[in-house]
Amino acid sequence: MRILYVSGYNRMVLFNKLIPKALRKNGHRVAEFDWNSVLSWNKVFNFFSGEKIKRVRGERLLKAIESVKPELIFVLKGEGLDFETLGRIQKDYSVPMCNWFGDDPWEFPVFSGPASKYYTHFFTYDPFSVKLYRDAGHQNAFHLPYGYDTETTASVELTSQDKEKYGCEISFVGTHYSEREEWLNKLAESYSIKIWGRGWNNTSLTHLYQGSALYGYDMLKALKAAKVVLNLHKDFDKGPEHSGNGLNLRVMEAAACGACQVSNFQEDIPNRFENGSEIILFNTYEELTDRLNYLLSSESARQEIGRGAFNRVKREHTLEHRMAELTEKIKTR
């Protein structure tokens, strides 16, 4: 299949680029359109308005469609595309266009719900959100969990400097949210923690913040170097209406790194990983500290969980697996 892959190669450039790699390994011909490359220099010089950039971006995407003549247009999230352009594609081209969206359900009312009507197929990482789309009239809405590329993670080796920089008892890599700050504050009274992510400046945990967010290979190094990787899903303590019940990308990234990962319980995680041997799940703070105490006292247990997680991703959850699922669903629907 000839595919035009549309994404913004910014902070998440590594993951975004692993998707076309997986499509090619599945035998597809892939052309890539990076919406962030359109007038990217304008961020420095600020000559043109956001509306002007959207128009130019839309015009160039339409030209890419004319040039590539794709049999499928695959958009990752698509927050960089305006609805006018999507409407023109829908009206002028008889080609299926799919979206794989990763910020449900909280983005559904403000972006992903309104955007979904422009796509023939809409894939969400969150199974809870599928009903939201179908109730809104989108019958080709499907659950497609995240995956990752174990070839990439296996290629990452830690130097002595990496171990010094990223090594710790517990690492947390993620954006600041108030509930995350509350949980990490309690943990910081008893454990050694390093935090990377956006928004942690000038919080009660500034002293644990390592000064930057992490992306790409730097993030993979941090996941590999920590004894335990802690994963707290956004709004996880507010119920599926707020946090969904899918597993976020960090679950797959950490598992593909062979990390010993401890995560709050999300309904879909046990469908993908064996709790206790491939990932450790908790529901309460007491359960979390009980599991951390055990893991930090047992290197062999941490290694066993990391190996189990890596092998599970390699067998069932690579991006090649996910892209095969996605394209097969489109062919059959």
Residue span(s) of the chain under CATH 3.40.50.2000 come to 2-147+319-332, 150-316
- Estimate the crossing angle of helix 216-225 against helix 13-25, to 10 degrees: 100
pLDDT for 330 equals 95
pLDDT tens-digit map of 280-329 = 999 999 999 999 999 999 999 999 999 999 999 999 999 999 999 999 99
Average of pLDDT values for 175-198?
A: 96
Q: Tell me the CATH class for 2-147+319-332.
A: alpha beta
**b/e burial code for range 150-185 (CB count within 10 A of at least 16 → b):** bebbeeeebeeebeebbbbbbbbbbebbebbbebbe
Q: Distance between CA atoms of 230 and 223, rounded to whole angstroms?
A: 10
Q: What is the pTM of this model?
A: 0.94
What type of residue is 41? W
Over the stretch 34-87, which tens digit does the pLDDT of each residue have? 998 886 655 655 665 667 788 889 999 999 999 999 999 999 999 999 999 999
State mean pLDDT over 260-277. 98
User: For domain 150-316, which architecture applies?
Assistant: 3-Layer(aba) Sandwich (3.40)
Check residue 47 and give its pLDDT.
60
> pLDDT tens-digit profile of 86-136?
999 999 999 999 999 999 999 999 999 999 999 999 999 999 999 999 999
